[in-house]
Structure 1
Amino acid sequence: MIRVRFAPSPTGSMHVGGVRTALFNWLFAKKNNGKLILRIEDTDIERSSIESEKEIINSLKWCGLDWDEGPDIGGKYGPYRQSERIEIYKKFIDYLIENNKAYYAVYDDNNNEIYKSNKFPENIDGSVVVKFRVNKDGTTSFDDLVKGTISFRNDLLDDFIILRSNGIPVYNFTVAIDDHLMKISHVIRGEDHISNTQKQIMLYEAFGWDIPKFMHIPLILGNDRKPLSKRHGGTSVEYFRNEGILSSALMNYLALLGWTIEEEIFEFKDKLKDFDPNKLSNKGVIFDYEKLEWVCGKHLRKKEIKDLYIEFLSWLNDDKIKYLIEKDEEYSLNVLSICREKINTLKQLKDFSYNFFIDEYEYEEKYIEKYLKKDWAKSLISASIKKFEELENYNLKTVEKTLNEIADLKITSKKNTFQTIRGAILGKLVTPGLYESIVVLGKERVLYRLKRTEVYINGIKG
């Protein structure tokens, strides 16, 4: 059976590169009716935290990635936190020492090796570690499913530590042990782990175990072609979630980074049948923030409006706006429907729709200077109030007709007329379509806002 694993270290936020690795593991497992194991690699005691583990798990769930075995599910191969498996690892340490494949080493305060033996040093003062004995002959090779055959010269590798002086095994040792015990058939991970593979294969061979197949995928890079990091911008799932990127959009975009697929906009779970390791690129891929935003806009506009409404409410952390949106669902659905046509993220949707829900909004300074301070502003707003008060059959067609009638009064140019009314009812000059906005706001709100603007102009004129 195909068994793959995603094994993050809980030492910080979930990086998008990690999520893409989890995604490719998920696709490979699901396509082949296999199993995905989530394993928390927390042997870095000083840096690991339960808060980071919780964020990793929440991020994966938000991204729509489920797993078959893991720390919050369990199974016969658990526990799935390496910090809870120390006694398991020590049995294998003992085996290697007993079979002359590892030995105790002691270092003095200057990091000089002062002892080396298969017997534990009883009376020597210093830091005691266990080191793996490297066979210097020949090469260590493996066939990578993405990169082809990769070989390492064994004579260039020194004996390496497998058990620290604090009694905690090192990464490469615990990974090899866990991958074997958990019956991992394929190891799919970032290419930054290629250098670890030689040590892990050596450990497999020392125990006489079958070696899993390896697939090392290219790293996600910044625009300077260096690994994506905070110097390029936000990199964590939590960052993009807070920025209002939809999870479906993030996963869609991450799938495009290194995977050749004909469509550009899709739900990743619909593409199981198309996933093929042979279609993964062997080159680093650049993370394009603008492209991600564009992809998000596509997802946002194709969502059912009620689903978008629910997701928007779930994302919002502004209790005042949240209350107003929930207070009148039908109105809110109409607002979101017209606002989403010009934005790409939930954060932009909040900014773009905000003044539809707040009557006492502030006017943009640009709008004030360019329109409200003009000599004709008061006459135009007063005429607009009169025209809308007379309007009876309130719909898109009659609203358009009314606006044209106001423009025909020649108080100012048609552009100035429309922009002045736009700013009066929404406080700014970039809004959804003017006709649609007026219809969605409704006659009562439009009149209230026009009259409020008239009062404001009077205050300007003194």
Structure 2
Amino acid sequence: MLRIALSPTKDIDLEDLRIALLNYIISKKTDEELVIRIDDANKDKNIEGKDKEILELLNLFSIEHSRVIYQSENIKYHQKLAMQLMTQKKAFSCFCSDTKLNELKESAKKEGKNYNYDDFCANLSDEIILEVNAAFTVRIKRPIDNIKLIDSFNGEFDYTPNDIDSFIILNHDKTPTTEYACAVDDMIYDITMVINKKEHILSASRQIHIRNSLGYKKDINYIHLPSILNEKENSNSIKWLIEEGFLPVAIANYLVFLGNETPKEIFTLEEAIQWFDIKNISNKKVIFDFEKLKTINKKHLELIDDLRLSKLLGFADTDIGKLGKLFLSETSTLNGIKEKLNLIFSKKNLCKDFEDESKQIIKCLKEAPHIDDFNNFKNYITQNTGLKDDSLLMPLRYLLTKEENGVNLSDIYPYIKNYLGEIIK
């Protein structure tokens, strides 16, 4: 079983979605169950409604899953297993204050060493513990032997007991820490593969230590991916990219393509499932190229069904879909196309320097019959107004598009001829 674990404390970002997409692709290739886990155990940091937003976004990307699990629903189980570890002397109560712990961290920093808990509370007698009337955290004891992690993407890692440390598994309010909750949940749901960011390799080793301490013997196949470097901060948010007019299919295409050896540049998730191999992904950091995403988005907009594009633009007419594709010579997003359409259907002033000509054209078009051909359309205006050349085309272009230049009017007209009554107001 595979899982997509997302926190309702922030927007889904590029790396979150990349990991979600790869989980989905691999689950389909291996015919394994995929679950979504909302890591909401830390109630103080959760953003209201963010879990629903996460699920809606995953649905938007057509990421199929068998069920949704909320980590907070397992807190009693997390606490029960922590008590088991304490009973077995594999975990202990820690009464150290934040002030004391900060002193230890500062001392290690001054000495140029990595911070390690000094195990002050690890050997307190039961009698002393009973006499202490103070809040405490629960720490798991550092392992006796090294913890080995085999990452099928990055090779083998070997962490010493000090690397692992005696770390906190239950906070003062007895809610689980992220590492502990993840380790227990992966055990509960029999997760067989975990795909995560490369920066979390040490955390994965600590989770192995937790499961070892609980007597869990099954191995989990770990894959830790390199980071995505992105200088354009706003574009890290998938929600923002959608709001900016990028298609989910294009975003998914780019994230699977990024740092990967693929048989072609433009594809759908369904196509990727057929040929995807995790071994073809680079183990080096990759750079998010916003302009490349625009190019891929533009190509998907070119390929999309005309009626579907029309509906995405707020219409239900294949002509509007075809019209929208004309503007891909000038833009590469849905929002860019919408801006062009909004100009066409907006109320317009008279064209500057051609005010009288504009009035004549407006009067003529309000009385005009339906005309299919653009040349016949121009000739009709000329016959009824005497306008031609720039005196006709300059104000006509402005009255139809609210722009002085751009896509040829002869290309635009076939798709707006049925809307002239709405355009010329």
Shared fold, TM over 0.5: yes
2: CA distance between counterparts of 1:330 and 1:5? Answer: 40
From 34, 37, 40, the counterpart of 1:36: 34
Relative to structure 1, is the Cα distance of residues 404 and 141 closer, same or farther in structure 2, using a 3 angstrom cutoff? farther
1:113-158 C-alpha deviation (Å, 9 max, x unpaired)? 8644474822213331211111254x32222121122222333442
CA RMSD of aligned residues (A): 3.3
Number of aligned positions between the proteins: 404
How much has 1:334 moved relative to structure 2?
A: 5.3
How much has 1:17 moved relative to structure 2?
A: 1.5
* Map of 1:141 onto structure 2: 148
Relative to structure 1, is the Cα distance of residues 278 and 390 closer, same or farther in structure 2, using a 3 angstrom cutoff? closer
1: CA distance between counterparts of 2:157 and 2:64? Answer: 32
Contact 1:5 1:37 in 2 (8 A): yes
2: CA distance between counterparts of 1:146 and 1:263? Answer: 23
1: CA distance between counterparts of 2:210 and 2:278? Answer: 26
2: CA distance between counterparts of 1:203 and 1:349? Answer: 53
Q: Which moved more, 1:289-298 or 1:128-137?
A: 128-137
Matched, 1:428 2:403: yes
Contact 2:307 2:321 in 1 (8 A): yes
Matched, 1:220 2:206: no
2: CA distance between counterparts of 1:167 and 1:393? Answer: 75
1:373-392 to 2 correspondences below 5 Å: 373=353, 378=356
Matched, 1:395 2:396: no
Q: Which runs of 5+ in 2 are unaligned?
A: 102-118
How much has 1:400 moved relative to structure 2?
A: 7.5
Q: Which moved more, 1:286-295 or 1:117-126?
A: 117-126
2: CA distance between counterparts of 1:23 and 1:301? Answer: 23
Q: Which runs of 5+ in 1 are unaligned?
A: 71-79, 224-230, 314-324, 453-462
How much has 1:91 moved relative to structure 2?
A: 2.2
Relative to structure 1, is the Cα distance of residues 123 and 283 closer, same or farther in structure 2, using a 3 angstrom cutoff? same
1:7-406 to 2 correspondences below 5 Å: 7-70=5-68, 80-108=69-97, 110-111=99-100, 115-116=121-122, 117=124, 119=126, 121-137=129-145, 139-208=146-215, 209-223=217-231, 232-313=233-314, 325=315, 329=317, 332-333=320-321, 335-336=323-324, 338-340=326-328, 342-358=330-346, 360-362=347-349, 372-373=352-353, 378=356, 394-396=372-374, 398=376
Structure 2 counterpart SS, 1:162? strand
1:89-125 C-alpha deviation (Å, 9 max, x unpaired)? 1222122222221122212463368644474822213
Contact 2:308 2:321 in 1 (8 A): no
Relative to structure 1, is the Cα distance of residues 405 and 299 closer, same or farther in structure 2, using a 3 angstrom cutoff? farther
TM-score between both structures, scaled by the size of structure 2: 0.84
How much has 1:285 moved relative to structure 2?
A: 1.3
Q: Which moved more, 1:203-212 or 1:248-257?
A: 203-212
Contact 1:106 1:114 in 2 (8 A): no
1:376-412 C-alpha deviation (Å, 9 max, x unpaired)? x756985998899999964145457789999x99866
Contact 1:4 1:185 in 2 (8 A): yes
Contact 2:319 2:415 in 1 (8 A): yes
2: CA distance between counterparts of 1:400 and 1:411? Answer: 10
1:78-98 C-alpha deviation (Å, 9 max, x unpaired)? xx2221111111222122222
Relative to structure 1, is the Cα distance of residues 185 and 13 closer, same or farther in structure 2, using a 3 angstrom cutoff? same
1: CA distance between counterparts of 2:338 and 2:410? Answer: 20
2:140 corresponds to which letter in structure 1? F
2:134 corresponds to which letter in structure 1? G
How much has 1:293 moved relative to structure 2?
A: 1.6
Structure 1 counterpart SS, 2:95? strand
Identity of aligned residues (%): 23
Relative to structure 1, is the Cα distance of residues 174 and 27 closer, same or farther in structure 2, using a 3 angstrom cutoff? same
1: CA distance between counterparts of 2:221 and 2:177? Answer: 22
